A and B are shown apart, each in its own frame.
Chain A
Amino acid sequence: MRLNRRLFLLSDLGPNRVLASLALWHGVQGALLIALGVGGLVSRTQLLSLVHGIALAGAVVVGFLSVVASIGIARRSHIGRAASLVVHYLLFIAALIGLASALDLFKGLDVLADYAAEGVPFLMAFVFMVGYALRTIELSERPVPRWRRRIGSAVMLVGGVGVALSLGLVTALLDWVAKLLQSPSALVWLALAVISVFLLRVMWRDPVAAWLGARRTHGEQLVGWLFLSPNLLGFLFFFAGPLLFSLYVSFTNWDAFNRRDWVGLENYARAFGLVVQPLRVPDQPASEALDVRTYSELMRVHLPGQSFLIGARDRLFWISLGNTLLFSALAVPLSVVPALFLAVLLNMRLPGMRLYRTLYFIPSVAAVVGVALIWQWMYNSQVGWINYFITEGINFINALLGTDIPDPQIRWLADSSYALLSVVIMSAWQWIGFNTVLFLAGLQTIPRELYEAATVDGANPRQQFFHITLPLLAPTTFYVLVTASIQALQVFDQVFIISNGTGGPGTSTLTMTLNLYQNGFQSFRQGYASALAWILFVVIFLFTLFQFRRQRKASSAYES
């Protein structure tokens, strides 16, 4: 029995034969994969579909690795072993994905959702959780009694089986097997998966490792990559790849339907295209000073004696940039300064502070879409609460002071001068709680003794705040500012809901992200929209860098 098993793992055949066959296998495999990949990439003259492109490029890479493995094994190097393991691991993953798509398993998530829609699975999951609670939660100092552990386990079992049954897992499993037997391509994938696993095992074995001179650290390295791999594959496939593709698209005029021509830097030129024209008279019409077929009036600059007209190729880009910066410039301080103030109050450690902290946090938990709908209603100029409070407040002041301040009757969302401000107020409201909690945590790391010492030295609370709290809170402030800015520069949900996706009234709430959405998914200029996305990225990057610099300077000043 023991012998058979070892024979199965090829260890009994002796190093030379095993390694030779493995090297040969990898050589053939590498040659095949490279041929397949290169052949596929070259033979297609017309546009490759994205998935085929990725698959073929992947084949070339794995093929190359396989050749490395072949040579490495032949030379008895541990690198060969590593390459072989990586190749087979990747093949195994590829086989699983191939199997899944051959059996249409991904679409199965939709079916899962159909089952979940009946609600029973959630009920069962709840039962499962109740069981878990029964098993583990300690009501007193003593450990959970045995009877409760037993009942808990039973309830968990019922819940777990219930979830499996109500989600159709059992029928799905049977069905899966049935399908597998009927589909040849699925069987091929399955075979590939099995072969990969088998060869992985062979290569992993201690004797084989020893023959190839692999040491313990080499093993650890491989385990490291193995642990990272789910993450890394996701990173490559859903992040790095798309990121590069986006960069490529930003140099084309892609419309998502037919056209995809390389246009070089045209998209960026279009976004940044500006002209400055001197004007004869300050209110000279733009059509006289500019080629209005290409340029639009962006703004006028009046210097003493001379006025200039600035025209832009894409006016909306500049407007959206301006709106975004204005939004951030208002929303960040509005959400950070009150937060700092509240955090200092909460840090007095009076009874009930936990409750306040929780209450402040609730808005940041809620969906922006829902919040925007609530505020849209509160902002209603005729029957909304905000104007009501303003009216009442002004009446009160007028009655108190005998003044005659008129009621402004602000049309928050319909007036282009106020619309962006409305969104700022709403967003600040939503972000304050989160920032407060961050500040509070930062404050709690400041040693109390410092304040006590300062009090002894006769420093008043104001001095304490500016000379102890603020400098020591600098890292927190930095973190809060950076996250709040990044969030603010990407604002989308709020303005989309508030303006019905138009960026209106006029262009007053057109932010960069919304402009990008309109270009990419309304006018279908996906190439241009990608360029806009990269510009936004650069803006955010510069912003963060700027904050970093300031933080560095500030902290070094503090240390010196």
Chain B
Amino acid sequence: MAKNRLLRILTVLTSYGVLTFFALVMLFPFLVMLFTSLKTPADTFSYPPRLLPREQITVTLPGYERPLPLHLVEHEEGRTQPMALVEDNIRVGIFAPLQPDGSPDRSRVVMRRFGEVRVVGGEDPKTVLLDGAEVPVYEVNVDGEIQEMVVISRTAVGRFVNPDNPSESVLANVRLSPPVTRITAHPENYLTVVNLLGFDRALTNTALITILTVIGQLTTSVLGGYAFARLKFPGRDSLFLVYLGTVMVPFVVLIIPLYQLMVAIGWVNSMPALILPWLYTAYGTFLMRQFFITIPREVEEAALIDGASRLTILTRIFLPASVPALATLATFTFLYAWNSFFWPLVVVNTGNTRAQVLTLALNVLRGRASDSPNLILAGAAISIIPPTIVFALAQRYYVESVASSGLKG
């Protein structure tokens, strides 16, 4: 018995572990989106990648006009310390002392600025042969002692000072000294995106299109679904089969003729093209019909005998009973209308701001701000957050009835 119990606990724990792992996988990209959208462009390119937006700390030191960035500088003895960068791109040489045989001793190198050293011989410089090339010999001061040295390599470094003791300064590689950072946030990225491409207009347009499409689809689907479910008329069942069959026709088959139809009517590049062709849906009709046939006939017949019209029956009896199905269809339509990309891409042009929608604006944004992932992801967030909220509100109906209504097919 105890063994069974242990097994049970283990199973539960493993299940939670697996479920949590997948939940993290599902959420992680959204976290990346949200946090990256709050970063500065430079921060997005840091490696290793980090979630939280960070920025470099600067300090103001007496004697320096501009604020100085802080870096973590590694000293020779291996100790690291935050220091302020006061001058960068200083070209220096790596000098090695000459051994008696004329070769440089690469184990005892020092770094010096070229201004600090002197060529031996002045006017008539002394040279040695190094790797097949004549190189000049320099006098270098090492701990107060003048040594003859040659340049074995060149590089550029920065000069750092200790912020607590500005007279203490070291030369060190800037790139390899990691910046000292603190957590920050740049919500103004969202404003930048909105101003950059008229995202506000795209947002209101998308909202308007979505609302009108949802209302229109609900209306036609409810009426059509009711006709298919409850009204007898010749050709009903064969027509229903045709409807069912069309669910399988991919949208791409329609894209060229539908586009040409829009050209013919003169709707290209305008809002009607984004709304009116989508007011009818075979899928929605099917969905509503499936729901309506489950409603008992008795109620309806009683109402008919009382002299109620079909429309009254539909609005007073059927609609209140089918809130879950309506919510499902509305959410489906909402997501479809909000996220659609292919059709707007074809029928609305990028230059047009009046009929711009979010997905298109995003597509332009990724070209215009190709160097600023923070802005692109801020745009993505603007397009993703509203449907997520709608889903969160509707999911009580939605998740359960997506499944059940879908399965009846």
Is A272 located at the chain interface by the 8 A CB criterion? no
* Chain A residues within 8 Å of chain B by Cβ, number: 105
Is B15 located at the chain interface by the 8 A CB criterion? yes
Is B231 located at the chain interface by the 8 A CB criterion? yes
Is A540 located at the chain interface by the 8 A CB criterion? yes
Is B302 located at the chain interface by the 8 A CB criterion? no
Chain B residues within 8 Å of A375, by CB: 29
Binds B, one of A142-150, A218-226, A311-319: A218-226
Chain B proximity mask over A121-157: 1 for CB below 8 Å, otherwise 0 = 0100100000000000000000000000000000000
Report whether A369 and B248 are in contact in the complex, using a CB–CB cutoff of 8 Å.
no
Complex Cα distance, B248 from A540, in Å, reads 8
Residues A197-237 near B (CB distance < 8 A): 217, 220-225, 227-228, 230-235
Report whether B362 and A373 are in contact in the complex, using a CB–CB cutoff of 8 Å.
yes
Report whether B258 and A231 are in contact in the complex, using a CB–CB cutoff of 8 Å.
no
Is B276 located at the chain interface by the 8 A CB criterion? yes
Partner of A113, one of B45, B205, B246, B359: B205
Complex Cα distance, B197 from A144, in Å, reads 46
Is B404 located at the chain interface by the 8 A CB criterion? yes
Chain A residues within 8 Å of B253, by CB: 243, 246, 530, 533-534, 536-537
Is A116 located at the chain interface by the 8 A CB criterion? yes
Report whether B220 and A223 are in contact in the complex, using a CB–CB cutoff of 8 Å.
no
Report whether A116 and B252 are in contact in the complex, using a CB–CB cutoff of 8 Å.
no
Given contacts A113-B208, A363-B26, A367-B384, contact A388 B252 (CB under 8 A): no
Report whether B256 and A246 are in contact in the complex, using a CB–CB cutoff of 8 Å.
yes
Report whether B395 and A242 are in contact in the complex, using a CB–CB cutoff of 8 Å.
no
Report whether B384 and A377 are in contact in the complex, using a CB–CB cutoff of 8 Å.
no
Chain A proximity mask over B206-224: 1 for CB below 8 Å, otherwise 0 = 0110011000000111011
Chain A residues within 8 Å of B30, by CB: 362, 366, 374
Chain B residues within 8 Å of A69, by CB: none
Q: Closest A residue to B37 by CB, please name it.
A: A374
Report whether B233 and A225 are in contact in the complex, using a CB–CB cutoff of 8 Å.
yes
Partner of A242, one of B219, B233, B254, B358: B254
Is B132 located at the chain interface by the 8 A CB criterion? no
Is B277 located at the chain interface by the 8 A CB criterion? yes
Chain A residues within 8 Å of B234, by CB: 221
Given contacts A374-B380, A440-B403, contact A530 B256 (CB under 8 A): yes
Chain B residues within 8 Å of A433, by CB: 26
Chain B residues within 8 Å of A517, by CB: 342
Given contacts A51-B265, A112-B208, contact A228 B47 (CB under 8 A): no
Complex Cα distance, B338 from A489, in Å, reads 22
Chain A residues within 8 Å of B226, by CB: 227
Chain B residues within 8 Å of A479, by CB: 406-407, 409
Chain B proximity mask over A362-389: 1 for CB below 8 Å, otherwise 0 = 1101111111011101100011110010
Partner of B310, one of A114, A227, A544: A227
Is B335 located at the chain interface by the 8 A CB criterion? yes
Chain B residues within 8 Å of A1, by CB: none
Report whether A537 and B359 are in contact in the complex, using a CB–CB cutoff of 8 Å.
no
Report whether B233 and A374 are in contact in the complex, using a CB–CB cutoff of 8 Å.
no
Chain B residues within 8 Å of A432, by CB: 22, 26
Report whether A358 and B392 are in contact in the complex, using a CB–CB cutoff of 8 Å.
yes
Report whether A520 and B16 are in contact in the complex, using a CB–CB cutoff of 8 Å.
no
Q: Closest B residue to A345 by CB, please name it.
A: B15
Chain B residues within 8 Å of A106, by CB: 265, 267, 270, 272, 276
Is B200 located at the chain interface by the 8 A CB criterion? yes
Report whether B256 and A249 are in contact in the complex, using a CB–CB cutoff of 8 Å.
yes
Residues B233-262 near A (CB distance < 8 A): 233-234, 236, 239, 243, 246, 248-258, 260-261
Given contacts A220-B232, A221-B233, A231-B223, contact A365 B388 (CB under 8 A): yes
7 shortest interchain CB distances as A-B pairs: A234-B280, A441-B403, A224-B231, A231-B224, A224-B233, A242-B257, A370-B380
Q: Beyond A117-B200, A230-B220, A434-B402: 19 further Cβ-contacts under 8 Å? A: A50-B263, A51-B265, A109-B212, A113-B205, A113-B354, A231-B285, A243-B254, A243-B257, A249-B260, A346-B19, A369-B359, A377-B377, A438-B402, A438-B406, A476-B407, A497-B363, A517-B342, A533-B253, A544-B248
Task: Name A's B-contacting residues (CB within 8 A).
Answer: 49-51, 106-107, 109-110, 112-114, 116-117, 119, 122, 125, 217, 220-225, 227-228, 230-235, 238-239, 241-243, 245-246, 249, 256, 338, 342, 345-346, 348, 350, 356-363, 365-371, 373-375, 377-378, 382-385, 388, 429, 432-434, 437-438, 440-442, 475-476, 479, 483, 486, 489-490, 492-493, 496-497, 513, 516-517, 520-521, 526, 529-530, 533-534, 536-537, 540-541, 544
17 A-B contacts (beta carbon < 8 Å)? A110-B355, A119-B200, A217-B232, A243-B257, A245-B257, A350-B16, A358-B392, A361-B395, A367-B338, A367-B384, A371-B380, A373-B377, A438-B406, A475-B407, A492-B341, A497-B366, A529-B256
Task: Name B's A-contacting residues (CB within 8 A).
Answer: 12, 15-16, 18-19, 22-23, 25-30, 32-33, 36, 44-49, 200-201, 204-205, 207-208, 211-212, 219-221, 223-224, 226-228, 231-234, 236, 239, 243, 246, 248-258, 260-261, 263-265, 267, 270-272, 275-277, 279-280, 282, 285, 310, 335, 338-339, 341-342, 345-346, 354-355, 358-359, 362-363, 366, 373, 376-377, 379-381, 383-384, 387-388, 391-392, 395, 399-400, 402-404, 406-407, 409
